[in-house]
């Protein structure tokens, strides 16, 4: 659906030329929700704006639904952009216009048939759950309601792609969840491909199918959200994941541990099985649970546990092997005394 090949975007500053995006290549599949994650300055916003050519790449190509956007100009580019909706962090609604008029404005700008505008706006208001707010002004809306207007406006011209630029960063957690649920509904019912940039891993965990981690303009790791949560490779990926799935054990607790301390990761249906309890019955060891939880990502369980094993070395070794044969990953965090 979206092909990004060797994309580079440079900016000229008083200190010289800076690369905002550095040789990025990505493939985003039709109908998926794809997250681009990074801290401020990582290049994710520049990359997003290049996808619809709000910023023209310095080099490389952007292909959307089989069309090379980087080869288009003028009217051809304008028409191609109609199939790419965009949602912004700060809403950018016209304060002097009602909710109805804000959405209608997008349709008029795209030369939508005048006789069909009213019906289309009312359809969009129903989709985002704001039918009763059609005649109020932005100042009378909550942040979540403003973003729903922004989503309706972005959907006005039946886009195939929806770009979300930190769409929930200005919202409280409850409102964020409602907006993410709306985006999931839109993705499922309209089969719209969604590209979402964020620095919030909770957002990615909640909604995205696949993700890319960006640092200093480059993609340093990419894959399914589930796999990256289960087995992150890059240190920055681990840092982001630990911001939502933290397994820090207080040093005061660790000082009292004598046996090896292990971190066990269970993937898929194995996460719900009693592998550890079975191991304790099979091997002559005792287990001391220090931390653990089961996370659900795309409705699939991911179990992560930290525990101390106590027993003779050969029995501890046998216990580790028993778990390794049934778990996705076993990491020895600290050897026994």
What is the model's pLDDT at position 56? 93
Are residues 319 and 180 located together in one domain of the fold?
Answer: no
Are residues 18 and 118 located together in one domain of the fold?
Answer: yes
Are residues 35 and 163 located together in one domain of the fold?
Answer: yes
Residue 272 pLDDT exceeds 70: no
Are residues 145 and 94 located together in one domain of the fold?
Answer: yes
Tokens in use for 184?
């999931």
What is the model's pLDDT at position 99? 97
Domain range for 318: 251-334
Are residues 55 and 161 located together in one domain of the fold?
Answer: yes
| Domain total in the chain | 2
What is the model's pLDDT at position 337? 63
Q: What is the domain-level CATH number for residue 290?
A: 3.30.70.260
Tokens in use for 324?
């390794």
What is the model's pLDDT at position 328? 63
Are residues 62 and 209 located together in one domain of the fold?
Answer: yes
d(CA 220, CA 38): 10
What length is written for the chain? 337
d(CA 65, CA 13): 34
pLDDT, one tens digit per residue, over 192-240 is 999 999 998 999 999 999 999 999 999 999 999 999 998 899 999 999 9
Least trusted range by pLDDT, from 49-53, 93-97, 269-273, 317-321: 269-273
143: buried, middle or exposed (CB in 10 Å: 19+, 13-18, 0-12)? middle
d(CA 54, CA 50): 6
Are residues 53 and 194 located together in one domain of the fold?
Answer: yes
In the numeric block, the tokens 């960006």 are attached to 214
Query: Do the bridges between strand 261-267 and strand 329-334 make them parallel or antiparallel, or are there none, so unpaired?
Result: antiparallel
DSSP for 225-266, written as a single string: HHHHHHS--SHHHHHHHHTTS-----HHHHTT--S-EEEEEE
**209 or 299, which is more confident?**
209
**254 or 188, which is more confident?**
188
pLDDT, one tens digit per residue, over 14-70 is 888 999 999 999 999 999 999 999 999 999 999 999 999 999 999 999 999 999 999
| Cβ neighbours for 236, distance < 8 A, ≥ 6 positions apart | 213, 215, 220, 221
d(CA 337, CA 200): 39
Tokens in use for 175?
């409102």
Segments in the chain forming alpha helices (H): 44-51, 74-81, 99-109, 114-127, 143-155, 173-190, 201-207, 225-230, 235-242, 251-254, 275-282, 313-324
Q: Given pLDDT bands bounded at 50, 70 and 90, which one contains residue 105?
A: very high
> φ, ψ for residue 269 (rounded to 5)?
-65, -25
H/E run at residue 21: strand 16-28
Are residues 265 and 197 located together in one domain of the fold?
Answer: no
> φ, ψ for residue 257 (rounded to 5)?
-90, 135
**89 or 204, which is more confident?**
204
What is the model's pLDDT at position 71? 93
Average pLDDT, the chain: 91
């Amino acid at each position: 659906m979206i092909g990004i090949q060797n994309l580079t975007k440079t900016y000229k500053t008083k200190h010289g030329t800076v690369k905002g995006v550095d040789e990025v290549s990505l493939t985003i599949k039709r109908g998926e929700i794809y997250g681009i994650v990074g801290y401020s300055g990582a290049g994710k916003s520049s990359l997003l704006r290049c996808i619809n050519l709000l910023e023209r790449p310095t080099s490389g190509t952007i292909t959307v639904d089989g069309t090379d956007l980087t080869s288009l100009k003028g009217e051809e580019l304008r028409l191609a952009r109609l199939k790419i909706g965009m949602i912004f962090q700060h809403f950018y609604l016209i304060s002097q216009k009602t909710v109805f008029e804000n959405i209608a404005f997008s349709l008029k700008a795209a030369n939508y048939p005048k006789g069909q505008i009213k019906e289309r706006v009312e359809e969009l208001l129903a989709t985002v759950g704001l039918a009763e707010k059609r005649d109020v002004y932005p100042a009378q809306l909550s942040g979540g309601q403003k973003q729903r207007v922004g989503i309706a406006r972005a959907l006005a011209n039946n886009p195939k792609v929806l770009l979300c630029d930190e769409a929930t960063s200005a919202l409280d957690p409850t409102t964020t969840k409602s907006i993410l649920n709306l985006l999931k509904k839109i993705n499922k019912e309209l089969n719209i491909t969604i590209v979402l940039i964020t620095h919030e891993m909770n957002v990615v965990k909640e909604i995205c199918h696949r993700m890319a981690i960006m640092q200093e303009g480059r993609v340093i790791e990419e894959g399914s959200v589930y796999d990256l949560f289960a087995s992150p490779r890059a240190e920055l990926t681990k840092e982001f994941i630990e911001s939502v799935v933290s397994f820090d054990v207080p040093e005061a607790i660790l000082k009292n541990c004598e046996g090896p301390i292990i971190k066990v990761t269970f993937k898929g249906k194995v996460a719900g099985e009693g592998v550890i309890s079975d191991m304790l019955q099979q091997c002559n060891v005792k287990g001391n649970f220090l931390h653990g939880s089961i996370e659900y990502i795309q409705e699939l369980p991911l179990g992560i546990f930290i525990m101390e094993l106590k027993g003779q070395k050969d029995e501890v070794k046998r216990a580790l092997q028993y778990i390794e044969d049934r778990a996705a990953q076993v990491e020895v965090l600290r050897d026994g005394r």
